[in-house]
Each structure stands twice: as C-alpha cells, then as structure tokens.
Amino acid sequence: MQLAKHWRLKGPRYRLAAVRHPETGAICFPPPADSAEWDEVALSGQGVVESFAAVGKAADGFVDGSIMALIRLAEGPVITAQLTDLEYADVTIGLQVEMVTRKLRDLGPDGLIVYGYKFRPLLSQV
Amino acid sequence: MAKPVLPTGIVGYGAYVPRFRITGAEISRMWDGGPGTPVAEKSVPGPDEDTITMSIEAGRNALRRAEVAATELGAVWIGSESHPYAVKPSGTVVAEALGCGVQISAADWEFACKAGTEALTAAMGMVGSGMLPYAMAVGADTAQGRPGDALEYTAAAGAAALIVGPAERAVATIEATLSVVTDTPDFFRRAEQVYPVHGNRFTGTPAYFGHISNAARGLLDQLGAEPGDFSYVVFHQPNTKFPQTVGKQLGFRPEQIAPGLLAPRIGNTYSAASLLGLCATFDVARAGDRIMVVSYGSGAGADAYALTVTDRLAAVRELAPVTSTYIERRTEIDYATYAKWRGKLVMG
C-alpha cells in the first residue's frame, strides 16, 4: 500500500507545502529530498493552466477521461495536476485556477484513501 | 442552559456545497414517485469528494474569515455520519490539510444530523473555559438514502465550519446553549449496514418536532426571551416543510426563517444542515441581530443556541465565498450518473 510514501507526501499534497531556500529565496515545489534546512512556505494555490490533455486510458486507480494540466503557480513553480469541477470543453490555456484538496485515489476497501491537490476554475468566476 | 464562563463567540465561518444537483423530479421519474417531492433538488458530491474534502474547503473559508493562522487552532472536530473511515479520524486529515500544528485535538463526533453542533458545544466549552484560544467545529456529510426510499429525495452533501474564539474577535457572540436528548428510535443505521432505516411518520411529532420545540422553548424560557426578540432563526432542515412548520409552532415568522432555509435547493445536508443555514444567515445579518439556531439529530436530540451578531461580521464576510456562491454553482446530473457516483450499482 506504500503507506510510508503517502505519509511522507502529505504536506505537499494536502496543502501545497513548498520550501524556500534560506539564502537565495528560491521556492521549490515539491520540496527536494535534501531540503531539510530550507524554510517551509505555503503556496497560495492560485495558478494558470499552461497546457492540458484528457487521459484516454488512465492508470489503475485513476479515472478515464480525467483532465491533466500543467499549472504555473503564482509563486513560479510549474506542476502537473488534475483539473476538477469542469468539463474538458471548458478548459483553455491561460485559464485561472485555484487549488482544492480532493480524493486522488481510493486504494480499495482495505486500503488508504489518498487525498491531494487538484485545481478548479476560480470559484469567483464560475 | 449552558453559558461560557469567558465571553465567547464565533470568530469565523465557512460553507461548502458540491456543485452537482439531482432534481426531485428525476428521482421521482425513476421510482414512479409522482409529483410533489420534499425538496426541489439536492446536492450530490462529485466522485472525488467526501466528508474530509468538503470539511477542508469549509475549514479554509472559516480560517480566512477568522483571520487567524491554522496553527492557532487548538482543536479541529468533525461531526458527521459519513466519515470516510470507520477507524481513522477525519479530523487528522483535515487538520493536516489546514496546516494546523501537531499540538492539537482532532476528533470525530457523531450524533446523526447534529454531530456538527455537538462539536460546536464542545468547542464552546473549551474556549469558554479558557482551555483553548480557538477551536474549529465542522458539520459535514455525504448522506446516503436507499434507492427508491423517501430519504433518497433529500439525502444530500455539504459542509460548514465554525471557529469558536474570544468574543472580542467574534462575528457573533454566543449567549447560551441548551441541549435536549431522549431515547427515540426515529432513524438509525446498524453497524455494517449501508443504508439507514427510518420510522416514517414517527420521525415527525415525537422526534423532530418534539426535540426542537423542547430545546428552543427551554432556551427561550431560561433567557427570558421570545421569538420576536430574534432577527433570524435556523432549524435543522430534513425537508422544506418541517423547519417551516416547527417555526410556526414556536411563534417565529417566515421571514425569520427564510435566509437560512436552504433545504429546498440543496436538500438535507445532515450534520451540515443547521450550520450551513447559519452560514447563509450570517451572509445577510447585521450587527446587533440576534440569531437562534436549533439542530436536530435522530436518536434523538436537539441543540439550541442564542447568538448576537457583531460589527466584525460585515468586515470579514467577503474574505471567503458566501454560501449562495456555492448554491448557485449547479450542474444537473441524471439518475444514472448519480447512482454510479454514489456506489448504488452492484458490480457483481
């Protein structure tokens, strides 16, 4: 079930916990493995769709037809994430999105429910 | 009647309602239910939503309005009858997602549809006694109804989060609360069963109406107050009719109930229902308004609260989406999609 892996990733996944280099100020997400000395910083969750694609045949545990996107976060990093609360026809490059914490995977009746970030259109613009 | 020792209030509130709706007419079409349904439509959680995800969004909204850091919370308590895990508290995930510190209490509460107000009363106790600076109480549910049962028309999804803190930072001060509990088997679900059972008309007079009336009248009497002293009142709302009927019986006017009456548009959000109604009432209330809230939970019990709005409410209202933003964001789905998403199809 890879419980340790999911546990290690909970901060970045649940709330976009990133790290800032104490000297250069560079923000890195997800935090690199050797960032124990960096400062934790919470990202705003605001971003813009840079590119996107529908997943025709998803990997086990994911849903066919889900929409993956490259999101440029307001603080700079570009991440890959699933879009939610919209249809494929409604996605455009440049769409402003915000982070929500949703179910990513359900590992079955004897498994973990994996939560993490997805992005949706700004609620104020729906 | 219980009163906090220290001046205490609600310092932040946040609502969440999923965007999907199924109409009563669509459910009736499937089951030959005829015209006239208990609510016009109900909210349905998306396939990536549950009590934990909805609690997180409601909690974030409450933190924005409270203008306190998540690390200042001493408790995150989730009231629900649809916790995703039988064993592993929803509050553990919600507290982590909100960015709370590890020195925190995070437990789950249960009491049918008043699990959220159980958490609220506990939060009042901890803050009102000076043991904690701030405590978050959430009511959230993704309710299930057996296919074709009367409950299927109303069993909905939503969440509401309240942060209890010192009265000087409150959007509404808490004057007092009163709880009523009896052993009344109007609605229950045995362990391992998927769907609850209910006592049809037995859920009315001895259950919903009896307990809400006792709690509301008890609090009014002990405060020396009358229904006319309150600008607004919010009751638990399992359907459109019950809260309007109990309001009339108690002597409240329809306009006192109207802002917090959400059931016609989103159904019965169970543990969230009375708290979401309070959120919607906060969205329109003004400084000085007194608000009465009375929850109801099957089994059975009711919690009544008397609140008074402060001038801070208007200053923080727009820091997070108002309740109507979520309610007006609606995407209608058909029964087949609803049945698939809600796990009603047995895959063999």
Per residue in B96-140, pLDDT tens? Answer: 999 999 999 999 999 999 999 999 999 999 999 999 999 999 999
Between the alpha carbon of residue B62 and those of residues A101, A106, A125, B132, B290, the distances in Å are 16, 28, 20, 17, 20
Is residue B253's pLDDT more than 90? Answer: yes
Determine the CATH number of domain A3-125: 2.40.50
Is residue A124's pLDDT more than 90? Answer: no
B172-314 has CATH 3.40.47.10 classification: yes
User: Which one of B100, B198, B236, B279 is the catalytic residue?
Assistant: B236
| A→B interface, C-beta within 8 Å | 10-11, 14-15, 17, 42, 63, 84-85, 100-104, 113, 115, 118, 123-124, 126
Closest-CA residue to B126 (of B5, B218, B224, B292): B5
What is the average pLDDT across B53-71?
98
- Res B201: pLDDT: 79
- Res B50: pLDDT: 98
As for the ipTM of the complex, it is 0.96
Is residue B91's pLDDT more than 90? Answer: yes
Structure confidence at residue B234 as a pLDDT band (50, 70, 90): very high
DSSP-derived pairing of the beta strands A46-54 and A96-106: antiparallel
Proportion of chain A above pLDDT 90, given as a percent: 81
Residue of A10, A11, A103 with shortest CB distance to B53: A103
Q: Do residues B159 and B6 make contact, with C-beta atoms less than 8 angstroms apart?
A: no
User: Is B81 among the catalytic positions?
Assistant: yes
pLDDT digits (tens, 9 = 90+) for A51-105: 999 999 988 878 888 999 999 999 999 999 999 999 999 999 999 999 999 999 9
Domain-by-domain residue ranges, chain A? 3-125
* Local structure of B72: helix, strand or coil: helix
Q: What are phi and psi of B115, to 5 degrees?
A: -60, -35
Domain-by-domain residue ranges, chain B? 8-171+320-341, 172-314
The span from the CA of A86 to the CA of B91, in Å, is: 28
User: Which one of B49, B83, B100, B113 is the catalytic residue?
Assistant: B113
Cβ-based neighbour number of residue B343 at 10 Å: 11
Q: Do residues A58 and A64 make contact, with C-beta atoms less than 8 angstroms apart?
A: yes
* Residue A87 per-residue DSSP state: -
What is the average pLDDT across B20-47?
95
Proportion of chain A above pLDDT 70, given as a percent: 98
Distance between first and last Cα of chain B: 53
Is residue B154's pLDDT more than 80? Answer: yes
Residue of A113, A118, A123 with shortest CB distance to B84: A113
The span from the CA of B315 to the CA of A5, in Å, is: 43
Mean pLDDT, chain B, rounded, equals: 96
pLDDT digits (tens, 9 = 90+) for A7-44: 999 999 999 999 999 999 999 999 988 888 999 998 99
Q: Which residue has the tokens 């690199």?
A: A32
State the smallest CA–CA distance between residue A89 and chain B in angstroms: 15
Residue of B43, B48, B52 to mutate for A, most A C-beta atoms under 10 A:
B48
Helices (H), B110-240: 115-128, 210-223
Topology, domain B8-171+320-341 = Peroxisomal Thiolase; Chain A, domain 1 (3.40.47)
Closest-CA residue to B51 (of B100, B135, B109, B10): B109
Structure confidence at residue B203 as a pLDDT band (50, 70, 90): confident
Q: Do residues B138 and B109 make contact, with C-beta atoms less than 8 angstroms apart?
A: no
- Res B275: pLDDT: 98
What is the average pLDDT across B308-337?
97
Taking contacts as CB-CB distances below 8 angstroms, the residues of chain B near A123 are 321, 325-326, 329
Closest-CA residue to A38 (of A24, A22, A18): A22
Helices (H), chain B: 24-31, 51-66, 90-98, 115-128, 210-223, 241-250, 254-257, 263-266, 273-282, 312-316, 323-328, 335-341
Answer yes or no: do B85 and A113 touch at CB < 8 A: yes
pLDDT digits (tens, 9 = 90+) for B258-301: 999 999 999 999 999 999 999 999 999 999 999 999 999 999 99
pLDDT digits (tens, 9 = 90+) for B169-180: 999 999 999 999
- Res A60: pLDDT: 80
- Res B348: pLDDT: 73
